[in-house]
């Protein structure tokens, strides 16, 4: 089942890349610049075949897609490691608590 979902995810990524390329070409036509001057289309980096314990291929694909989207270009993933930290949880709790500030009515 995991292979089927990985294949589906890969097909969806390829479909999205084709859509981005088509939209970029259309934008180039509308704005009047040629395909040579069109902005670069980001591509998803392919994860290395050796997957460490605890990190699935789907997770690596998602990380690769996020990095490519952020950087705007393909970037190879050299290392992924799990970091356990309470800082995110603590900051999240502080944010939620601050958003629930109760103001007293002044008579």
CB-neighbour burial class of residue 102 (10 A; exposed 0-12, middle 13-18, buried 19+):
exposed
Domain that holds residue 50: 2-80
Which residue in the block uniquely carries the two structure tokens 């001057």? 37
Q: Is residue 86 part of a domain?
A: no
Q: Mind listing the pLDDT tens digit for each residue in 63-94?
A: 888 888 888 888 787 887 777 778 888 888 88
Query: What per-residue confidence (pLDDT) applies to 42?
Result: 52
Nearest to 13 by CA among 81, 79, 21: 21
Model confidence at 39, pLDDT cuts 50, 70, 90, reads: low
Domain count along the chain: 1
Query: Which residues touch 48 (CB under 8 Å, ≥6 apart)?
Result: 76, 77
Q: Is residue 91 part of a domain?
A: no
Q: Is residue 57 part of a domain?
A: yes
């Amino acid at each position: 089942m995991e292979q089927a979902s990985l294949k589906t995810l890969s097909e969806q990524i390829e479909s999205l890349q084709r859509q981005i390329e088509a939209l970029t070409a259309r934008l180039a036509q509308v704005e009047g610049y040629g395909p040579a001057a069109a902005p670069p289309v980001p591509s998803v980096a392919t994860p290395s075949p050796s997957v460490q314990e605890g990190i699935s291929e789907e997770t690596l694909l998602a990380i690769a897609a996020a990095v490519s989207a952020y950087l705007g270009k393909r970037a190879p993933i050299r290392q992924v490691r799990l970091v356990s930290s309470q800082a995110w949880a603590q900051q999240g709790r502080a944010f939620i608590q601050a958003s629930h500030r109760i103001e007293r009515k002044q008579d």
